[in-house]
Amino acid sequence: MTSFRSSPAQSKEIVRLRKEIQQKTGKTPEELYEEREKRVRDAIFLRQPDRVPFFIFGNPSAYGLNNAAAWYDPVATRRAHIQAILDLEPDMASGTFTSSGEALAALDVKN
């Protein structure tokens, strides 16, 4: 089993994002995760959540990326998705790399 280790640049980015989230919401990311997970689980198990869960499929073009850049620049796409999540504060969000041009090319998708 391989372990994931972040680079120093990634670690700084994580610290910056954590601070931004805490300043904006007054809660830690862990507290927000627990709230969102409960909200989604309540909806799944047909209990009344505190509000309707909100899910987004990222749209990098809404953050200045054209379609080609969104498909073939995973770093810019990731940044756009992170910004969308910070701006919209969804309960859930779609992943990004399984629908990237690089991932589909590696999988030799023909459709």
Angle at 26 between CA 25 and CA 31, to 5 degrees: 85
d(CA 62, CA 70): 11
d(CA 108, CA 102): 10
Residue 16 tokens read as 């910056």
Q: Where are the domains of the chain?
A: 22-53, 55-111
pLDDT one digit per residue (tens) for the chain, 111 residues: 445 566 887 889 999 999 999 999 999 999 999 999 999 999 999 999 999 999 998 778 888 888 888 888 888 888 888 898 999 999 999 876 556 787 788 888 887
- Whether residue 59 contacts residue 84, with contact meaning beta carbons closer than 8 Å, is answered with yes
Residue 56's H or E segment, with its range, is strand 55-56
pTM over 0.85? The answer is no
CA 103 from centroid of its chain's CA atoms:
17
